[in-house]
Amino acid sequence: MPTFTVPGAELDVELSDEGGHPVVQLHGLTSSRRRDRLLDLDLGRGLSGTRLLRYDARGHGRSTGRTVAEDYRWSVLAEDLLRLLDEFFLGELVHGVGPSMGTGTLLHAVVLDPARFAGLTLVVPPTAWATRAAKAADYLQAADLVERDGIDAFVEAGRLAPRPPATADTPDTLPEVSEELLPSLLRGAALADLPAAEQLAEVAVPTTILAWTDDPAHPVSTAEALADLLPHSRLEVARTPADLATWPEMLAADVARHG
């Protein structure tokens, strides 16, 4: 796979070129494009006739990174994304899709450069604004846990957390982050938040928001708030694995509609 250099990291990049509309797919915190495939969050698997760019965010998967927490703020990841779009889709309108941290990255990118995006598919938006402080504290505690007891303790703590009903059929997976970098990634996530409400209210890009129920890390309340703020948005909520299985079709419809 090719790599792409950004300040402080080398990003591992994959382009599936079938012609057609450009699409960029992101992933979530501690994940990768490979792991998101296992978690049924690789919505791009339902696409054909597009130019689909997938990549591992800095510090994740096969990409490199530094032990610098500030490197993993969503605003920094958004700058990485815009550099990638300049390299692969210069001057073109792109459809962006991504879960959780990927959603945060996309929203910061669209605030920075709204003219780059034809449409967005935001997947399981994370805690934000009023709910972010408590989650940030969790991330800081998790970073301390990794440094004290190792990555296995972090994995075991994650297994104890309840699963959203829509993900009941997905397998157990491991973080796609090294033990060395994981504390920095978690502390960077603690520094991150979605753009301010007044900034998002100015985003005119057509947007679909896909949420699922019973997940405190990705509450429906964030998805509902985004649906209220973004002027051209619609919200779909998954409650079962069957609902989740329809999401690739929704992305394909979004790309066709906005392309």
Give the mean model confidence (pLDDT) for residues 179-203.
98
Predicted local confidence at residue 10, as pLDDT: 98
Tokens at residue 201, please? 């209210």
- pLDDT-based confidence at residue 1 (cuts at 50, 70, 90): low
pLDDT tens track for 11-46: 999 999 999 999 999 999 999 999 998 888 899 988
pLDDT tens track for 212-252: 999 999 999 999 999 999 999 999 999 999 999 999 999 99
Q: Is the pLDDT of residue 196 over 80?
A: yes
Predicted local confidence at residue 159, as pLDDT: 87
User: Which stretches within the chain are classed as H helix?
Assistant: 33-38, 74-88, 101-112, 132-149, 151-159, 182-191, 197-200, 220-229, 241-244, 247-258
- pLDDT-based confidence at residue 160 (cuts at 50, 70, 90): confident
Q: Is the pLDDT of residue 187 over 70?
A: yes
pLDDT tens track for 68-122: 999 999 999 999 999 999 999 999 999 999 999 999 999 999 999 999 999 999 9
Name residue 237's amino acid: V
Please state the domain extents for the chain. Answer: 3-258
Q: Is the pLDDT of residue 258 over 90?
A: no
Predicted local confidence at residue 172, as pLDDT: 87
Architecture of domain 3-258: 3-Layer(aba) Sandwich (3.40)
- Taking alpha carbons only, the member of 73, 125, 75 closest to residue 98 is 125
Cα–Cα distances in angstroms (integers) from residue 244 to residues 84, 120, 150, 259, in the given order: 29, 18, 33, 23
Average pLDDT along the chain: 96
